[in-house]
């Protein structure tokens, strides 16, 4: 293997190690880090997996979209919004509970 490939491989390993160590430090420093991640996950996961694909599909297809496709996209958007709201409410309520329990 050429020397520049070895150097780039070493840099990749160092960056991965630094990311894992920084995540560990943040996880140990913030007492409810998992709850914050669940809040972020409930918001962003639904947005990226359900809402954005439907909106992109509707914007790409434009006026060629059928009523059935619009109805299905609206149904998926509603499910995504409701799921995101329920997940966010659950995560926020658990964060509030943990903040109240701190001395």
Residues 53 and 9 in one domain: no
Is residue 17 domain-shared with residue 37, that is, in the same domain?
A: no
- Classified as helix, coil or strand, 32 is coil
Looking at every residue in the chain, the average pLDDT score rounds to 88
pLDDT confidence bin for 103, thresholds 50/70/90: low
pLDDT digits (tens, 9 = 90+) for 62-84: 889 999 999 999 999 999 999 99
Asked if residue 38 and residue 24 are part of one domain, the reply reads no
Kindly state the tokens that stand for 74.
């609206």
pLDDT of residue 59: 93
Radius of gyration of the chain (CA): 21
**Number of structural domains in the chain:** 2
Other beta carbons less than 10 A from residue 77's beta carbon: 15
Task: Please give the Cα distance from 53 to 55 (Å, whole number).
Answer: 5
Q: Look at the pTM and tell me if it is higher than 0.85.
A: no
25 and 71 assigned to the same domain? no
Write down the residue that tokens 């009523």 correspond to.
Answer: 67
Give residue 22's domain range: 1-30
11-15, 24-28, 62-66: least confidently modelled range: 24-28
């Amino acid at each position: 293997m050429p020397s520049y490939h070895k150097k780039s491989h070493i840099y990749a390993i160092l960056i991965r190690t630094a990311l894992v160590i920084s995540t560990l430090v943040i996880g140990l420093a913030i007492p409810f880090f998992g709850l914050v991640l669940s809040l972020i996950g409930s918001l962003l996961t639904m947005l990226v997996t359900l809402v954005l694909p439907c909106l992109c599909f509707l914007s790409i297809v434009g006026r060629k979209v059928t009523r059935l496709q619009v109805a299905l996209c609206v149904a998926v958007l509603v499910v995504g919004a409701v799921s995101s709201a329920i997940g966010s409410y659950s995560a926020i309520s658990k964060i509030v509970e943990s903040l109240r329990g701190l001395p």
